[in-house]
Structure 1
Amino acid sequence: MTTTNDNTVPTTGRSAAGPWSALLLAGAFEVGYALSVNGSQGFTHLVWSLVALVFFLCTLFFLSVALKRIDVGIGYAVWAGIGAVGSAALGPVFFDETFTATKAIWLAVIIAGVVWLKLADSTRFSND
């Protein structure tokens, strides 16, 4: 591990894939959290409530790991986007929800935004 003379985070020589993998995992746990909160029906069903708690703790843990190396604005936007898209797409699978063409279009816009944010954070495409 190498250190720097300023206040930046030390680098380990690892690729940027680690933080992004943690962020994707945090997003997946966020989807699980949102769906289980819905299933808990206002935290009135014990099993769903406990599952929601576990997903909540996991999503926060992996988000915090990812944000050690990813800017908070980009990381949070990607995490929220994954949660929104995943919840909207899986809500009709697990619950009595509708999925319309209009929703699909706007979810595609969110996905495109998340992809562009990832590209903006890439060292290959950044102007730094």
Structure 2
Amino acid sequence: MTSETNKTSVTKAWIMLLLAGLFEIGYALSVGGSEAFTVLSWSISAVIFFLLTLYTLSVALNVIDVGIGYAVWAGIGAIGASVFGGIVFDQMLSLTQAFWLGVIIVGVIWLKLAGSDQLQDKSQRLA
């Protein structure tokens, strides 16, 4: 496998991880709207988003280390659910909560930057 192919594999894995995070946001919001799975439309949406997030996360974790991938996925889900929960469900976000969500964002970016060399090594081992 060439270096260019490895780079493509890593890029695709991160795209899948970002998609998994977006699907996780959809799942969290759907579960919130399902009112303990008593509202059919929200419940169906939750199941669909759940399956999508699990699939895309599992594809991403073929290349990305589990610890890093899970942290990024959970961070995207937590931040997205907090932000969009305010939009969809009119939930308030305090300044303290916004600050700590900012810390999560910085941590996720830092994990991505710190792990980029390790990801390329792992993708080369898979070849």
* TM-score, normalising length: structure 1: 0.86
**80, 89, 94: which one aligns with 1:95:** 89
Matched residue, 1:51: 45
Cα distance, 1:74 vs. partner? 0.2
How far apart in 2 are the matches of 1:28 and 1:14? 24
After the TM superposition, list the runs of 4 or more consecutive aligned residues in structure 1 that deviate by more than 4 angstroms: none
Cα distance, 1:103 vs. partner? 1.1
Q: Which of 96-105 and 36-45 deviates more?
A: 96-105
How far apart in 2 are the matches of 1:70 and 1:122? 9
Matched residue, 1:27: 21
Name the aligned partner's letter for residue 80 of structure 2: G
How far apart in 2 are the matches of 1:73 and 1:25? 17
Aligned residues: 117
Matched residue, 2:5: 13
Structure having the higher Rg = 1
1:76 maps onto 2:70 in alignment: yes
* Greater relative contact order, per chain length (Cα 8 Å cut-off, separation 6+): 2
Cα distance, 1:99 vs. partner? 1.2
> What pairs up with 1:82-121 in 2 under 5 angstroms?
82-121=76-115
Query: Unaligned regions of 5+ residues in structure 2, if any?
Result: 121-127
Cα distance, 1:12 vs. partner? 8.6
- Greater helix fraction, Structure 1 or Structure 2: 2
Percentage of pairs with the same residue: 58
How far apart in 2 are the matches of 1:14 and 1:52? 34
Query: Unaligned regions of 5+ residues in structure 1, if any?
Result: 3-10
How far apart in 2 are the matches of 1:104 and 1:78? 18
Name the aligned partner's letter for residue 87 of structure 2: V
How far apart in 2 are the matches of 1:65 and 1:99? 33
Cα distance, 1:13 vs. partner? 1.8
How far apart in 2 are the matches of 1:30 and 1:56? 7
How far apart in 2 are the matches of 1:89 and 1:59? 19
Cα distance, 1:52 vs. partner? 0.4
* TM-score, normalising length: structure 2: 0.86
Per-residue CA deviations over 1:74-120 (Å, capped at 9, x if unaligned) read 00000000000000011010003111111110000000000011011
